[in-house]
Structure 1
Amino acid sequence: MKKIGLLGGTFDPPHLGHLLVAEEVYHALDLDEVWFIPSNDPPHKDSTDTNTEDRLEMTRMAVQTNHHFDVNTIEIERSGTSFTFDTVSSLVNTYQDTEFYFIMGGDMVEYLPKWHRIEELLELVSFVGVQRKGFELECEYPIIKVEIPMFEVSSTLIRNRVQGGGSTRYLLPERVETYIKERGLYGKR
C-alpha cells in the first residue's frame, strides 16, 4: 500500500517552511510522496488577493526539485470552499490502494474539533501534527506527532517583507522569489 502525505494550504506564497515540514514528515513516516494541495477557497482563512494561477505556479516551482514532492490540483479544479473532508473523500475513492496522512502545523491541531465532518474524516485519513521542541500538540483526536527543526517563517511574514521592500532571501525557493519579483506580487499598495 502506498503512503502519501497531504499538505494543504493557500501557499500564498509557498516558502521553505512548507518544504521543510513536508521533507521532515516524509522521512519520519517513511512516506512514498508528499502532495501539496493548493486550496481554492479555504474555510478558515480570509480569501487571498493572489490569483489561483500564480499560487499554483509558485507551488509547482517550489516542489519541482524534489522527486518525492508533487502538486495535486483537486481543490482548484473543484472550485468553491475547500473542505478537507471533500478533498480526502475524493482522493480515497480515486486512489484506493493508498493510505493518506494529512499534515498540519501545530497551530491547526487545536481547531480539529471544529472541522467540517471531522468524525467521518478521521475514518479516512491519519492526521499528522508538526511539533516543535518545547510545544505539545493537545487534541482529543489521534494525532501522529512529528518534531521538526525550528524555522519561524510564514506566508504573512513574506508578504509583509515584500510589501515593505525587505529581503526574503533564505525564506523562499529562489525560483519562487524570482517569480514574485517578476510578477510584482505582494508589492506596495
Structure 2
Amino acid sequence: MKRIGILGGTFDPPHNGHLLIANEVMSALQLDEIWFMPNQEPPHKKKPDTVKNENRLQMLKLALQGNEQFKIETIEWERKGPSFTFDTMKILSLKYPKHGFYFIIGADMIEYLPKWHKIDELLELVKFVGVDRPSYSHETGYPVLYIDIPTIDVSSSLIRERLKSGKSARYLLPEPVLHYIKENHLYGT
C-alpha cells in the first residue's frame, strides 16, 4: 500500500512553511509522497481574489521542483463550488483503492474539526495529521496524529502584504516562486 500525505490549501503563494510541513510529515511518518492539493473554493474561508489559478499552479510547480516525492493533485480545481474534504477524499479513495491517505492540517484546522462537513465519515477515509501553528491549540477529541515540527511563522497572507507594501519576501518562499511573482507583477509587485 502506498502511503500518501495530502496537504491542501490555496497556495496563494506557496511558501517555505508549506514545504517544511510536507517534508517533516513525510519523514516522520515515512510516507511515499506528499500531494499538494490547491483548492478552488475553501468552505471555511473566502479565498482572496489575488491571482488566477494558472498562476497559483505555476508557482506551486516552481516551489516543488527538485523533489520527486512532492506531487500536485488538482482534483479540487476540476469541481465547481465549495471544496469539501469528504467529497474529495471519497473520489480519491475510489480512484486509488490501494493508497492510504494522511490528511495534513495545521492547529488552526484541528480546532475547526468539529465543524468539518461529514467529519465522522471522513475519518473512515483518512488519518488526520496535525502540525503546530502559532497561537492555536492542537488539542482535540478527534484522532489526530500530532507531528512536532520546527515552526516558522509565515503565511501566504503575510507574504502578500509584504509584497504589496514593497517589503522583502526573500527566504519566506522559494527563489523561483519569488522571481515568478516579480516577473508577472503579482501581489502588487
TM over 0.5: yes
Alpha-carbon offset, residue 48 of structure 1: 2.2
Give TM-score scaled by structure 2 length. 0.95
Alpha-carbon offset, residue 132 of structure 1: 6.5
Counterparts of 2:179 and 2:185, CA distance in 1: 10
Query: 1:37–1:73: 8 Å Cα contact kept in structure 2?
Result: yes
Alpha-carbon offset, residue 61 of structure 1: 1.1
Unaligned ranges ≥5, structure 2: none
Give TM-score scaled by structure 1 length. 0.95
* 1:184 partner letter: H
CA-atom RMSD, angstroms? Answer: 1.5
State the partner residue of 2:147. Answer: 146
Counterparts of 1:11 and 1:69, CA distance in 2: 14
Query: 1:132–1:148: 8 Å Cα contact kept in structure 2?
Result: no
State the partner residue of 1:31. Answer: 31
Counterparts of 1:185 and 1:133, CA distance in 2: 27
Query: 1:88–1:124: 8 Å Cα contact kept in structure 2?
Result: yes
Q: How does 1:45-60 map to 2 (within 5 A)?
A: 45-49=45-49, 50-60=51-61
Counterparts of 1:124 and 1:134, CA distance in 2: 29
Partner SS state of residue 3, structure 1: strand
Query: 2:108–2:133: 8 Å Cα contact kept in structure 1?
Result: no
Stretches of 4+ moved more than 4 A in 1?
Answer: 132-136
Query: 2:63–2:177: 8 Å Cα contact kept in structure 1?
Result: yes
Counterparts of 2:137 and 2:165, CA distance in 1: 34
Q: How does 1:155-174 map to 2 (within 5 A)?
A: 155-174=156-175
Q: How does 1:1-189 map to 2 (within 5 A)?
A: 1-49=1-49, 50-131=51-132, 136-187=137-188
Question: Identity of paired residues, percent?
Answer: 58
